[in-house]
Structure 1
């Protein structure tokens, strides 16, 4: 069962990258991020939106092989579908294609998310469409190229629909930070900080530890999310040692 977490974009930022509220919620529009970089997962894209996306784009959910993160409530008319109808009447779901993720699992999670949104908003399966449906854009690219056929994805959604009421929400609201092991020079720590800040979209700090330096992240909500962050740091080979501390 997919875990769905909220990291909602503040209204002051949302008003800059949407058409405001009053989404009629007739369609679910499936996209792919087209971002294959290491670490470009749901958390990274959600933080990008939360911190102020430089692109004129917005979407309701990002899904990867571990979770779905909601950035906008369904009432917002996000800029994603490439047409007024798609934006004003669609709930936009972006599926991650980061090279360090599992595409097949991400699509399974997306199917479960679509099934839940269908149930919540009473949207019929025939109104689950590709981005291409509204704009002609080659999106979702991998699906359209046959990595997973659209017909198979729709079958996955139908199979997930029977269990949609069992979808679980993250319930650990405690705050945690991730600390790396130490680096011998401040420059080494700054190199890691640059990646975490600009590629992952995290809030991060450098702290002295005697004659050495370490990185401290901003807060994560929930131990599972903090652990995923720590794992991302190790997977990207930015630190051999990480520690999670409660706030």
Structure 2
């Protein structure tokens, strides 16, 4: 079942939405995959029933795929990535193309809204799925189970640290905290499993220009 996040905020990418679920989603909704213009992130195995369809049948039978619409992403590329993912799921689970449906199919909700408004039409997505090779790159399994946090450099005021904290929590969907360092302040994240994930988190903080320094510490 195909959805859109309907969240156009900058930074509201697949990683941010996956972390939102991992950290305890405040909404009574869940989904199996989130896809953006760079990656597809899986939050639940297919055997888990996710609450996204708006109907018991859709929840019980559906594999829920959310496509990101963040303003700093490439929507067309996100749709192309979703088509690759859907093709692979169909192959793995022996699902016919006739069973690939919109969220609207089960609940009548205007979702996926951008597709329904014709930005990329539903028929175009189905054609992409049919033409896809199903070779969606899968995330490498985590072999480093050690836990890490990312700490920013210090800020002169607590208000500056709070501004960074707000982005990490509400745009990235991360757990994050402020701690005092003598007369200055720094922000630290929740835990990452594996150095690769921690390094990606540190790079994301720097890429968003939230901090010039982002240190990784083992816990």
TM-score range, shorter chain: 0.7 to 0.9
Q: Is 2:96 the counterpart of 1:143?
A: no
Cα deviation, 1:109-128, whole Å, max 9, x if unaligned, reads 11111111111111011111
Q: Is 2:74 the counterpart of 1:102?
A: yes
Q: 1:43 aligns with which of 11, 15, 18?
A: 15
Cα deviation, 1:26-76, whole Å, max 9, x if unaligned, reads xxx000010111221112212222222222211111111222222222122
How far off its partner does 1:239 sit? 2.2
Cα 1:122–1:104 shift into 2, 3 Å: same
User: Pairwise mapping of residues 49-128 of structure 1 onto structure 2 (< 5 A)?
Assistant: 49-128=21-100
**Quick one: distance in 1 between partners of 2:127 and 2:107?**
24
Cα 1:31–1:163 shift into 2, 3 Å: closer
Q: CA RMSD in A?
A: 2.3
Alignment TM-score, normalising by the size of structure 2? 0.86
- Greater Cα offset, 176-185 or 223-232: 223-232
More strand by share: 1
The SS at the match of 2:64 is strand
Cα deviation, 1:86-120, whole Å, max 9, x if unaligned, reads 11111111111111112112112111111111111
Q: Is 2:138 the counterpart of 1:168?
A: yes
Cα 1:148–1:196 shift into 2, 3 Å: same
The SS at the match of 1:36 is coil
**Quick one: distance in 1 between partners of 2:92 and 2:179?**
45
- Structure 2's unaligned 5+ residue stretches are none
- Structure 1's unaligned 5+ residue stretches are 1-28
The SS at the match of 2:63 is strand
